[in-house]
Amino acid sequence: MLRIPRYLVSNALLATSGEDLHELLQYAIQLEHATVPPYLTAWYSIKNPSMSPNNKAASILRHVVIEEMLHLTIVANVLNSVNGDPKLNYPEFIPKYPDNLPFDIGEGVIVNLEPLSKELVERTFLKIEEPENPIEFPSRLNQFSEGTLDISAEGETGFATIGEFYAAIIMKIQELGDAIFTGDPEKQATSAFFSDSLLFPIHNVETAVQALQIIIKQGEGSTSSPQDDTDGGLAHYYQFEQIVQGHELVMNPGSENGYSYTGDEIEIDPDEIFDLVINSKASQYKEGSDARNAVDSFNKTYSKLLNDLELAFGGQPQTLDSTISGMFSLSTQARNMMDLQVSTPDGGKHVAPSFEYMNTNI
């Protein structure tokens, strides 16, 4: 599981005002975004995802990215509700992959931009999403009521997960009460991409707690079920574990915990995945080349989307839907880029997006 630096949780518990939560909530926005480029890169690397034998893995990746965008928006709404100012359009907002997660969350878990593989999912994605006590379920590989987060623990095992970081913020919001909700209600963002039960305006303790609990449940599930109980889907950890196990997680009354990885096969066919330049950087490609132009164009588009997200959270919430649509329309730009090949010390590789921020007014 990913460890949370103690100072982040301590700062939440020591807060005496809504303003004291601003920096922590901005950290949370940056953290929620940090997973988007690696998840998108893995999704982009699948050739013709809707028709590919890897289509089920592609669907999992796309679904998780959508929920990460939901989480980012929820945190922005909470920050706005306590009169904060979400920021997304500056160079340091995007990690310089390969990198740790922001604020060294994960104690050395290095996140790369690389093509989809079971090894990537097991090495990185499961580590990012792992709850404190993941539930183990039988699988074909090895056989032929919501929990309460404990955020009072001391010592080396305290405050171990991202979920517990959010739980500390929830505790402080409950302690400080409705008086901290002084933000402009017109900045609260909703979207046709998400149901009213998942994304809704934040204006008091009750709505803030409800919203932040959605993030915890969708990421980690509960201590007794792999489902996030917000929409009946699986929590992210168990969605990704299906890729590693090679089968869907399905209800199984004969299993100890009621589920097993014995459903339909989830295939990973490496021949249908682009062999990408890992941790691509624009500077790797010759100025003026097709590869460099494609990478620069992608970075400009992605940077503009971050600009647009900041506008959406800064007083133009009606633009959020078009911005999220733009995030997914990037897939065409990315896969066109991946048709290009370049020589590397490891042989010919396909060009990959680098997710580098570019100042642009396009």
Question: Which residue in 145, 230, 239 sits closest to 196, CA to CA?
Answer: 230
pLDDT digits (tens, 9 = 90+) for 260-270: 999 999 999 99
| pTM as predicted | 0.90
> Residue length, the chain?
362
**What is the rounded CA–CA span in Å between residue 22 and residue 13?**
13
Output the pLDDT for position 361.
58
Question: Which residue in 21, 16, 63, 53 sits closest to 165, CA to CA?
Answer: 21
pLDDT above 50: residue 165 = yes
High-pLDDT (> 90) share of the chain, %: 65
**What is the rounded CA–CA span in Å between residue 121 and residue 101?**
16
In a domain, 311, yes or no: no
In a domain, 231, yes or no: yes
Tokens of 92: 């340091």
- Based on the structure, what is the number of domains in the chain? 1
Tell me the CATH number at 168.
1.20.1260.10
pLDDT digits (tens, 9 = 90+) for 214-249: 988 887 655 557 877 677 688 899 999 999 999 999
In a domain, 11, yes or no: yes
Cβ atoms of residues 165 and 4 within 8 Å: yes
pLDDT above 50: residue 149 = no
Domain range holding 244? 6-274
**What is the rounded CA–CA span in Å between residue 333 and residue 335?**
6
Output the pLDDT for position 99.
86
pLDDT digits (tens, 9 = 90+) for 76-115: 999 999 999 999 988 889 999 998 887 777 667 889 999 9
In a domain, 304, yes or no: no
In a domain, 123, yes or no: yes
In a domain, 347, yes or no: no
Tokens of 94: 């995007």
Helix axes 55-81, 236-245, angle to 10 degrees: 160
Residue by residue, what is the 3-state secondary structure of 116-154?
CCHHHHHHHHHHHHCCCCCCCCCEHHHHCCCCCCCCCCC
**What is the average per-residue pLDDT within 1-29?**
86
In a domain, 216, yes or no: yes
What does residue 297 show for φ and ψ, rounded to 5 degrees? -65, -40
Tokens of 225: 């079920």
> How sure is the predictor about 147, in pLDDT bands with cuts at 50, 70 and 90?
very low
> How sure is the predictor about 155, in pLDDT bands with cuts at 50, 70 and 90?
very low
